[in-house]
Structure 1
Amino acid sequence: MPASATPETLPAPALEHVCDLAVTIAPALEVGLTPAGMRRVIPITGGVVRGPRLNGQVLPGGADFQLIVDDGTQAHLDARYVIELLDGTRVFVHNTALRVASPENSRRLMRGEPVPAAEVYFRCQPRFEVSGEPWRWLGQSQFIGSGRRAPDGVFLSFYRLC
């Protein structure tokens, strides 16, 4: 086997903190139990974006489309919404996530009750679409994040992989 075919461990990517979001939501629209799992739609009503690279607001009109599986312990989240930055630029966000919690904590989350963040695995992969400079870098980078569900909203922290 040629040397070029030998696996090489590359340096781990660094993380650059981009922003934190406090997203407000309306009560869940329960679709019900489908063959794929429990379907819910969580309307996004607004929010705030603050951080070293992005600042603005979450506009109303988005939603988080949820699929709850494995006896309610796993939630596959698919949120789509728009952020308006301080300069008026609008950014489309498509954020997919995985949230895993114990059966008891999952039931508490579904009822809108508080659950300590340390007891829930909530990780996301936001993607951004925006036109023009100076925000082009949003579409030319990979991002990951962490989340926490609160009774009246969701808190997210986004990081750019460097």
Structure 2
Amino acid sequence: MPRHIDQDVHSAFVEFRGDDPSAKCLSVQCIYCQQTRAKNTTRQKQHLLQCAPYLQAHPDVALQISGAASAASAQASQAQAQAQTQANVAVPGQASGDAPADGTYTHDGTVGEHTALTFVPNPRINGTPSQGRPSLGGDGTPAPKRQKTKPTPSNMPEISLQDVHKAFVEFRANETDKCLSARCIYCNQVRAKNTSRQREHLLTCPGYQSILKDKIPANNLRHQFDQDDVASTLALPAPTMDLDFRISIKVKPKLNIGPSPSGRQSWIPCIGGQWAGRWGKGTILSGGHDIQTSVKDTATRIDAQFLLQTNDEHPAQIVLTMKGWLTAERDVMERLQDPVAADNVVAHRYRLRVTLQLETGDERYADVNTGVWVGSGCRRGGEIVYDAYRIS
């Protein structure tokens, strides 16, 4: 932001009382050229605008004066061409001789030993219109308001604050600059040191896009989508899995149905059981069944359906449907077919994995209708036990 002379008008002068002790008024002395002036803010500003040592020490102020002088000269030439005598621009509501609230100052003739000042708006400094006065376009009509553009939502992974800092190198473009700039290490573009703007830049930086794509798990699989495919730019939310309930199903001995087009089929009738979990507990009504189809010696398909009942005063009925697979090595599968030997096979020697679906018409448990579960099970004596994990 350009330096304003108001910042220095008080620090540039030292107050003192003259040789006359009875004098009521203070005087001030310029610390740059040692000249003495009356303690008057307006006169002190006028002095600084002509003080060569001060302007040499503050080139940004000198640049403003030069720019304002050029603007005043251009306005004077235009006024002369239009046969108008008005050469100075007056600020409404400001008395002659008072310093403007903001802007720049120009020389306008000599009055006594000092130079009179006239305020000329400088677009570099006074580009923002005052409140209540709309800015005008080149044709005199009100200029349209600038619309703030929101960044386009991205499906790429979120950029952490730590990654933003790592992506930019800070430097000072000019020794006189008070603010630091930042250069993107991926494309060498320079940006202001502003975290939000830097993060927006990284979302469109081609060099950083490849880094973001590597953070998408699907792009690290053995086989991947093409680089220009939209699927390679999507960061999808990863589901979580939480243990939701356990179910223990009491069954009768297996009934071998015999071979079928899909494999050897067996029926396992349900005679009861119980369940308990986060959202309730209850029993399993008899009448359900577990249909198992052995498609080969190492794999058996599971297709089961049971009816759960809650322990409420007015119980609710929930239909449980399970589909999945029982897989293991051949010798383990043979032992699982023997009711006595099956109890001696530890659960980690085989994989009994199922998907579960719950359905009910009771409004108290309507939430289960849209749930998704996966289960892990084992066989123990006359029971089959499953842990159901809810996918969120």
Equivalent position of 2:269 in the other structure: 43
In structure 1, C-alpha distance between the alignment counterparts of 2:328 and 2:379, rounded to whole Å? 11
Equivalent in 301, 304, 321 of residue 79 of structure 1: 304
In the aligned structure 1, how far is the partner of 2:263 from the partner of 2:352? 19
Q: What is the alpha-carbon distance in structure 2 between the residues aligned to residue 111 and residue 156 of structure 1?
A: 20
Per the TM alignment, residue 9 of structure 1 is displaced from its structure 2 partner at its CA by 3.7
Indicate the SS of the match to 1:66: strand
Deviation per CA, 1:123-157: give whole Å up to 9, x if none. 11111110132211111121111111123110101
Tell me, yes or no, if structure 1 residue 61 matches structure 2 residue 287: yes
Task: Name the counterpart of 2:53.
Answer: none
Q: Aligned AA for 1:99?
A: L
Alignment of 1:6-155 (within 5 A): 6-7=231-232, 8-71=234-297, 73-87=298-312, 88-112=315-339, 113-114=342-343, 115-155=345-385
Cross-structure match for 1:158: 388
CA–CA distance in structure 2, aligned partners of residues 111 and 104 of structure 1: 11
Q: Which residues of structure 1 form unaligned runs of 5+?
A: none
Letter in 1 for 2:311: L
Secondary structure class of the residue paired with 1:13: coil
Give the distance between the partners of 1:122 and 1:160, measured in 2 at CA: 17
Instruction: Report the residue type matching 2:257 in the other structure.
Output: V
Q: Give the alignment's TM-score, normalised by structure 1.
A: 0.92
Q: Percent identity between the aligned chains? A: 25
SS in 2 for 1:108: helix
CA offsets per residue over residues 37-60 of structure 1, 9 Å max, x none? 110000011111012223101111
Amino acid across the alignment from 1:120: Y
Aligned-partner Cα distance in 2 for 1:4–1:139:
35
SS for the counterpart of 1:149 is strand
Alignment-mate amino acid for residue 79 of structure 1: A
Q: Structure 2: how far apart are the matches of 1:108 and 1:9?
A: 45
Give 1 or 2: higher strand fraction: 1
After TM superposition, the structure 1 stretch with the greater mean CA deviation from structure 2, 77-86 or 131-140, is: 131-140
SS at match of 2:368: helix
TM-score between both structures, scaled by the size of structure 2: 0.39
* Contact kept? 1:18, 1:54, Cα under 8 Å: no
- For residues 71-120 of structure 1, give each alpha carbon's deviation from its aligned partner in whole angstroms, at most 9, with x where no partner exists: 2x111111111000112100011111211011111111111222210001
Q: Do the aligned residues in 2 keep the contact of 1:42 with 1:63 (CA within 8 Å)? A: yes
1:4, 1:137 → 2: CA distance?
37
Aligned-partner Cα distance in 2 for 1:104–1:22? 26
SS in 2 for 1:62: strand
Q: CA contact under 8 A between 2:309 and 2:316: conserved in structure 1?
A: yes
Q: Which one-letter code corresponds to 1:123 in the other structure?
A: R
Between Structure 1 and Structure 2, whose CA radius of gyration is higher? 2
1:11-55 CA-to-partner distances (Å, cap 9, x unmatched) read 321112211011100011110122311100000111110122231
Whole-angstrom CA distance in 1 between matches of 2:326 and 2:284: 21
1:84 partner amino acid: Q
Q: Which runs of 5+ in 2 are unaligned?
A: 1-225
Deviation at 1:6, TM superposition (A): 3.2
Supply the RMSD in Å over aligned alpha carbons. Answer: 1.8
Give the total of aligned pairs. Answer: 161
Matched AA of 2:275: V
